[in-house]
Amino acid sequence: MKIDAALDPAGIAQLAHRDLSATTCVVFDVLRATSSMLTAFAHGAAEVYPVRTLEEAFELRSGIPGALLGGERNGEKPAGFDFGNSPFDYREVRGAKIVWTTTNGTIALRSCEHAARVLIGALLNLDALAAQLRGAERVLLVCAGTHEELALEDVCAAGCLGAMFPGAELTDAARIALAVCRAFPEPLDALRQSRNGRALSAMGRDAEVEWCARRSAYNVGAFMDGSIIRPIP
C-alpha cells in the first residue's frame, strides 16, 4: 500500500488535476462535518448529499421528497436549515436523507468524486476505516482544513489512520500526518489545541470536541457513491 496525503485546502484544490482512478480517498473533517455524518449514519440516516453552496443545498432539497438540510457557515446553522454541523444534531435521524453543505468538508468530499473510492473518515471510525482499506493499493488521506488553512485535528486523524498500516509506503505528506499523530498520543489534546477546537470551546461547545475525539467509537463506514454518501452495509 502507498499512502499519500493532501494536508490542506491548497492540496485539495489540486485534486481536480490528479488521476485518482486507482486511488481510495479518505476525507477527514473532524471538527465537525465528517464526525457528524458518521454520527448520523450510526443513528440510522439513509443518505447524505454533500454540496458546495447554500444555493445548491436549497435547490437539491426541493427535488428530494422529505429531505432535510444540514451544515454550517462560519460554524453556525444557516437560516432555513434543519440541522447545524454538531454531531449532537444527528442522533434522531433514522431513515433521513440529508442535503449537507459546510465551509470545507463538503468541498473536500466533492473534490474527490473522480476517485476510485471515497470513504468518510474521522477519529470516530478509525478501526472501521482500517478494515475497509485492507487490500487497497493507493490511499490518499484528504484533510479538509479550515477556510484556506491546514487544520491540526484533520492531519492528526489522518496520521492515526496511516499509523495503522506500519508496512505502507508513505509520501512525505503522509509522514507529516504520522508525525502529528505521534505528537498527540491522546487525540483529544490535538483537537483542543486546534484552531477549531479552541473556537468551539470558547462558544461553550467543548462537549462536541470531546465527542469527535473518541477513537473508534463507532463501527460504522460510509462511502460516496457518485455524489451521494451511503453507509457501508
**pLDDT at 228 (0 to 100):** 98
Q: Which of 229, 190, 178, 201 is nearest to 30 (CA)?
A: 190
Record the pTM: 0.97
- Segment 155-179 shows an average pLDDT of 98
Total structural domains within the chain: 1
* pLDDT tier at 233, thresholds 50, 70, 90: confident
Three-state SS letters, 111-126: HCCCCCEEEEECHHHH
Residue range 75-92, pLDDT digits in tens: 999 999 999 999 999 999
**pLDDT at 139 (0 to 100):** 98
Domain that residue 151 falls in: 2-231
pLDDT of 197 > 90? The answer is yes
Domain CATH for 58: 3.90.1560.10
Element (H, E) at 195: helix 195-202
Separation between Cα atoms, residue 232 and residue 216, nearest integer Å: 16
Residue range 107-165, pLDDT digits in tens: 999 999 999 999 999 999 999 999 999 999 999 999 999 999 999 999 999 999 999 99
44 HSE (CA, 13 A, CB side):
6
Element (H, E) at 224: strand 222-225
- Segment 5-18 shows an average pLDDT of 97
Instruction: Give φ, ψ of 94 to 5 degrees.
Output: -55, 125
Listing DSSP states for 33-98 in one string gives HHHHHHHHHHTT--EEEE-SSHHHHHHHHHTSTT-EEEE-BTTBPPTT-S--S-GGGGSS-TT-EE
